[in-house]
Chains A and B, each alone.
Chain A
Amino acid sequence: MSFVYLEDGARFDGVACGAAGAAVGEVVFNTGMSGYQESITDPSYARQLLTFTYPHIGNYGVSEAAMESSAVHARGAIMRAARNGRHCAGAESGWLDWLAGRGVVAITDLDTRALVRHIREAGSMRGGIFPAEVSEQRARELIAAEPSMNGRDLAQEVSPAEAFTLEPTGAGGGDGPTIAVIDTGIKSSIASNLRARGARLRVYPCTVSAAEILDGEPDGVFIANGPGDPAALAYIVEELRSLVGRLPVFGICLGHQLLCRAVGLETYKLRFGHRGANHPVKDLETGRVEITSQNHGFAVLGPAGERTLDVDEPVRWETDFGVAELTHINLYDHTVEGLRLPEAGASTVQYHPEAGPGPHDALHLFDRFIGELSRARAGI
């Protein structure tokens, strides 16, 4: 037996699975119905306890191909009816065996829907998965020892120690663009989408300076997804301001939040975040709606400090980098989902076009970015 305990005193009982022990972190939930392994290895879940709303998790086992990074980043998994099957073709291990092997604490047979409803109403908060023998008093102490997500720089925890290069895997014959990646916790799917389109990636620690990037003479810059509070990453924002306008920039998720901060927008913490594979996002330029993969706890405020945008066209205003446009909105709650700096050749999205897991509706954004870089390279 074990239980989930939240900082507001709510308790949900279940059965321990995965590795033995306790785990604390911010308790969040993801509403996707598949892709558990991709999610739990996504660096953006660092220091979080991931609740899966779909009851059966582990149905098709785990495989190397589904890794979004080399490690499990979530602190623990909270499930309703976990499974350890490995019958599925391509499964290299059972999910629960794999969690245990990687030392990940997990709990199952827990009423995840009750937990999710609690978080939906009260907001995401810190909590922990504890063995039954841990007292609630002790649980409270352990939770209190975990810092709040607000103001936390977690990018450095998941960023590489040193720069390295990833060669292209797909078309382009080695003739594709070189992209400098500011690695705040990049997902494998992003890297593989860029490489498959012929790009060579020069991946830098998130503490990299603009000068160092420019020294490498890349064709463009990519700012990755990642965990933590974007407001704690002023040092990246500063370097970005030196890069925007000099090189084409593309960014995803945390990368989007950082570029927005670089043009003067503020970020804030959502009540319980967006995590799932079914969020509709509208491209205000084309009017098209895409179903997107999402994983973020923070979001961007509009230029007037507004949390939601009730608009049918891009919101435009002047910045240090020329005109800026908020190009995408989330149709669930009308929060900001995309930014574009046409004059500076930069654009970012809050959601995850690389999927992994989730729908592929927005893969064309990679084509667009690589296409722009290739055209620039060819001098068109």
Chain B
Amino acid sequence: MPRRDDLKRILILGSGPIVIGQAAEFDYSGAQACRVLAAEGYEVILVNSNPATIMTDPDFATATYIEPLLPGPVTQVIERERPDALLATLGGQTALNLASTLSADGTLDRFGVELIGASADAIRRAEDRELFRETMVSAGLRVPRSMIASSVAEGEAALSEIGLPAIVRPAFTLGGQGGGIARTRAEYEQIVAGGLAASPIGQVLIEESVLGWGEFELEVMRDRADNAVIVCSIENVDPMGVHTGDSVTVAPQQSLSDAVYQELRDQAIAVIRAIGVETGGSNVQFAVNPTTHEIVVIEMNPRVSRSSALASKATGFPIAKIAARLAVGYTLEEIPNDITLATPASFEPTIDYVVVKWPRFAFEKFAGAEPVLTTHMKSVGEAMAIGRTFAQAFVKAMRSRELDVSPEVDLPVEELLSRAQRPGASRYDEILEALRRGASVEELHERTAIDPWFLAEFAEIARDPDSTFRGVRTFKAVDTCAAEFAASTPYFYSGWERPGQDGKPTHEAARGERAIVILGSGPNRIGQGIEFDYCCVHAAQAVRATGREAVMINCNPETVSTDYDTSDRLYFEPLTLEDVLGVIELEQPEGVIVQFGGQTPLRLAAGLEQAGVKLLGTGVDAIDAAEDRGRFGALLAASGCKAAPFATAQSIPDALREAERVGFPLLVRPSYVLGGRAMEIVYSTEALADYLERSTAGADGREIYLDRFLENAIEVDVDALCDGTEVWVAGIMQHVEEAGIHSGDSACVLPPHSLGGPMLARICEQTSQIALSLGVIGLINIQFAVVGGDELFVIEANPRASRTVPFVSKAIGFPLAKLACRIMLGERIAELGLPADPMRGTHVCVKEAVMPFNRFLGADSLLGPEMRSTGEVMGIAVDFPTAFAKAQAAAGSALPDTGTAFITVTDGDKPAGAGLAAQLHDLDFRIVATRGTAQAIERMGIPVTVLNKVGEGSPHVVDWIARGDVDLVINTPTGSGARSDGWEIRRAAHTRGIPAITTLSGGQAAIRAIRSARGGEPSVISLQELHRGR
């Protein structure tokens, strides 16, 4: 069955911002789909609100809309573009839910759009808990005993049927959000209530517990001719009870016999047929009783998923690419296997190595949240490693985590065992240490229910760490077929093997021609996300365009950079100096690029240079000159730029002494960190002393940075290119929130909405001076603060790709990272054909951060100098308020049209807070406030209802929010930390999904946005229209 000719235009939905449970894997899958469908001659229309994606690069689609993934904007896109079909199975749960809505509300029928990949019925059968259960039972498959509850009362009734422990899963949520395991009655009641609120359809599934059973996933693909294949089996090392996204997982499965595995295979195929996914990939999850081998089906995703991205990287079988082809009518047999070229995709990959995936956590960023793993996913990223044995893969994955702080394992064995029993972020560090100190496999199995096969492997790793890496580093190929056929795709990993007969390693990779090695950014984490992967992919594209060979090293399976199509050779390796040098020794590259992968490759720069490796672009000395406080201060002074007073302290007493000289308030942090890790603003010596005691700053000989904090300053971010003699300012972004909020968490607008021409000119001038003085070759990002309208301070300079590069690139229509790479390879700015004022245009672009507070309910959601956002969205419109409103909607905190606004602000903010109240009143909002704020509002003559603070008794403000009687919260901090009123208010708002704005400027922007939204739904525009002619 060849491709369908009745389709011409296909709409693809992306997955939106990176959030926990839905990350870069959907850029990988979506980008593949766009590329394949375009190559098949279809016109692709794409909607995705996330500018930091490769798929939203304008050359990936005929029309690219960076618009909110909501029914309104997408309907407008459909109306304008009139696609014939909608492919929603590659954009995660977001795309699937949106497609269901557009199907249910008749939009797709109205415009004659066919849902391809999975039908609305199939989606419903997979996603609706009750329907799923019925479908499985009628297919003869066993599911855990379960009951559906749509109310607290139904939840009560279910308890007597199911018993404890029970698992609560809300319907239609990402990564099990809002669910959990209840072991006690009290936990049960709490989780059921939370789950009902989290589910968009107010429904939870209450399930028989299969805790401790083995957890397995099979990736299955099916074509129009009903042929089905299993791409990969994945076994969770953590048994049932830990979300698969938070589990260490291994491919292929290790512990099941062929007989049991084949039973899983049969069931996985039965599931995809029963659900009725006609074409494409699905993920089926099973629990297997370790004693009886009884199998129950847990769930299935009728779409490409995080696990399918992992399976693709683990086997070399590109699931998304093939799913896209199947959706337009091909059969598996008609699609060639990319890697062998000689064989078709209608086969099952077989591998001759072991793959381990390890989650990356960020609990340290969310003080107050319980660092315990449950069925509710909490990891922010993942690393994958490939080895010839399980131990090789496991240890490589472990070192790919790039932890900032080593896990605490210097504990008594009993303490280690009890920690391992309650799964947390450091579970395996604890298990290895316990084994090292003599704990037995039996003991650990008793505590953790982890399969003894894995524990025996851990025991060997613990007992003799060297045994894992005996032999020589040997680069082997990932080829889908265990070497049965010759592979043409250069995808490699290192294993440790005996040398060949000639005494040399039996490498399957060989040095290429004019290779340039690009170092990736490793596992996603807060502060280092998909933006850097975007830059690395652009670097690979730029390198290839010059006729050189791009060689990628990275260990993040979610990414486009680890798609073997991205580079000429891909090495799936940890980003440690030793592993990277291993590749370099074989490749003998012309140069290595460390500028695009965030802090990860920068940390290796000095070591690489010492090893005699040629780094391209900005040199190690310039990086040091920008990072070293003293050197950078001197450079600023020499360039006539101003910096806020600062000091670098070597010890705690030193810091306390220096603080007096710098003056308060001040910003304090440890040196060399990304994402404002452990950064705080302190207003007094006492507060500073407290910080120094709490944090690890000053420990292990690291320096402590002190900077005067500029209050009420406007923060500005600049991205620029420099070739050593010329500087090109690509974008100036004004932060919406005041200085003091980490730039990664602040909304920003391009071009700046309230800075005048002369100030912008000064910013450009200082950017040039700094870039030239540092000797930047490539990208530089500089943060400035504008104080009192005309004073300009330099906050910091980073001579590398910044988090804002993709946003700026999309806003101005020039691919910054690619241009930077060309400069690093020797081109001059003058040769690049760039306009003098790239920001000139009719549109305003707003970037908004997306916060994961709904995952960490104990943590305070107050914004501060430490970055905590996981992703970003972009709003594009003709004016700032509309662009801001779009960005808010895209970020999932759509502003209310009208309703009740609750305002509580600090004393200093009361006049301005009352001003906001007046504006909201004029917009017909009902105003409620706590007593002090209410008095200020009343003085403006605005009617206001006074609410009790939490301490003043019920009904208090949190009760109001929890009841759903508040639609908008404006709350500037009167105190942070657990159990303060502000904390309770923000927590309640996040639980209800109500926007909670914590800065006055944010409040002002929100009000302008609400006003502009009264003018009707903003129109949509594609990047191709926006940048026509570029």
Is B254 within 8 A of A56, CB to CB? yes
Is B354 within 8 A of A59, CB to CB? no
- Chain B residues with CB below 8 A from A280, complex form: 229, 333, 344, 346-347
Interface string of A30-64 (1 = CB under 8 A from B): 01111100100000000000000111100110010
Q: Tell me which of B225, B258, B481 has the highest count of chain A C-beta atoms within 10 A of its own C-beta.
A: B258
Cβ of A71 within 8 Å of any chain B Cβ, yes or no, is no
- Chain A residues with CB below 8 A from B293, complex form: 89-90
In the complex, what residue of chain B is closest to A62 when comparing beta carbons? B257
> Which residues of B (467-486) have their CB < 8 Å from a CB of A?
474, 476, 481-486
Interface string of A82-114 (1 = CB under 8 A from B): 010101111000000000000000000111111
Is B389 within 8 A of A34, CB to CB? no
> Which residues of B (132-169) have their CB < 8 Å from a CB of A?
none
Is B258 within 8 A of A34, CB to CB? yes
Is A89 within 8 A of B291, CB to CB? yes
- Chain B residues with CB below 8 A from A116, complex form: 352, 482-484
Question: Pick the contact of B389 from A56, A276, A332, A356 — CB < 8 Å?
Answer: A56
Cβ of B388 within 8 Å of any chain A Cβ, yes or no, is yes
Interface of B (DSSP majority class): loop
Cβ of A261 within 8 Å of any chain B Cβ, yes or no, is no
Q: Answer whether A60 and B256 are a contact pair too, CB < 8 Å, given A88-B453, A282-B333.
A: yes
Cβ of B332 within 8 Å of any chain A Cβ, yes or no, is yes
Binds B, one of A179-187, A218-226, A283-291: A283-291
- Chain A residues with CB below 8 A from B259, complex form: 65-66
Question: Pick the contact of A114 from B253, B389, B506 — CB < 8 Å?
Answer: B506
Cβ of B586 within 8 Å of any chain A Cβ, yes or no, is no
Q: How far is the CB of B462 from chain A (nearest CB, A)?
A: 17
- Chain B residues with CB below 8 A from A191, complex form: none
- Chain B residues with CB below 8 A from A288, complex form: 225-227
Question: Pick the contact of B257 from A83, A85, A90 — CB < 8 Å?
Answer: A90
Cβ of B610 within 8 Å of any chain A Cβ, yes or no, is no
In the complex, what residue of chain B is closest to A114 when comparing beta carbons? B506
User: How far is it, in angstroms, between the C-alpha of A352 and the C-alpha of B226 when the chains are bound?
Assistant: 21
In the complex, what residue of chain B is closest to A39 when comparing beta carbons? B258
Question: Pick the contact of B350 from A10, A33, A80 — CB < 8 Å?
Answer: A33
Cβ of B756 within 8 Å of any chain A Cβ, yes or no, is no
Cβ of B501 within 8 Å of any chain A Cβ, yes or no, is yes
Is A89 within 8 A of B292, CB to CB? yes
User: How far is it, in angstroms, between the C-alpha of A135 and the C-alpha of B262 when the chains are bound?
Assistant: 43
In the complex, what residue of chain B is closest to A36 when comparing beta carbons? B258
Q: How far is the CB of B394 from chain A (nearest CB, A)?
A: 12
Is B348 within 8 A of A278, CB to CB? yes
Q: How far is the CB of A81 from chain B (nearest CB, A)?
A: 5
Q: How far is the CB of A311 from chain B (nearest CB, A)?
A: 13
Cβ of A163 within 8 Å of any chain B Cβ, yes or no, is no
Is B389 within 8 A of A117, CB to CB? no
- Chain B residues with CB below 8 A from A357, complex form: 258, 262
Interface size class of B (residues with CB under 8 A): 35 or more
In the complex, what residue of chain A is closest to B387 when comparing beta carbons? A55
User: How far is it, in angstroms, between the C-alpha of A90 and the C-alpha of B342 when the chains are bound?
Assistant: 40
User: How far is it, in angstroms, between the C-alpha of A65 and the C-alpha of B229 when the chains are bound?
Assistant: 26
User: How far is it, in angstroms, between the C-alpha of A83 and the C-alpha of B333 when the chains are bound?
Assistant: 36
Cβ of B497 within 8 Å of any chain A Cβ, yes or no, is yes
Cβ of B7 within 8 Å of any chain A Cβ, yes or no, is no
Is A87 within 8 A of B252, CB to CB? no
In the complex, what residue of chain B is closest to A331 when comparing beta carbons? B344
In the complex, what residue of chain B is closest to A13 when comparing beta carbons? B498
Is B501 within 8 A of A277, CB to CB? no
Cβ of B343 within 8 Å of any chain A Cβ, yes or no, is yes
Q: Could you pull out 23 A-B pairs where Cβ atoms are within 8 angstroms?
A: A31-B482, A33-B350, A33-B351, A54-B352, A55-B388, A56-B390, A60-B255, A60-B256, A85-B456, A87-B453, A89-B290, A111-B500, A112-B352, A113-B476, A113-B483, A116-B482, A117-B483, A120-B484, A288-B227, A289-B333, A291-B229, A291-B230, A357-B262
Interface residue ranges, A against B (CB under 8 Å): 10-14, 31-35, 38, 53-56, 59-60, 63, 65-66, 80-81, 83, 85, 87-90, 109-114, 116-117, 120, 276-280, 282, 287-289, 291, 331-332, 355-360
19 new A-B contacts, CB < 8 A, other than A56-B389, A89-B292, are A12-B498, A31-B484, A54-B352, A66-B257, A80-B352, A81-B390, A85-B453, A87-B451, A88-B453, A109-B498, A113-B482, A114-B500, A280-B229, A280-B344, A289-B225, A289-B227, A291-B348, A332-B343, A357-B262
Interface residue ranges, B against A (CB under 8 Å): 225-227, 229-230, 252-259, 261-262, 265-266, 290-293, 331-333, 342-344, 346-354, 388-390, 451-453, 456, 474, 476, 481-486, 497-498, 500-501, 506, 508
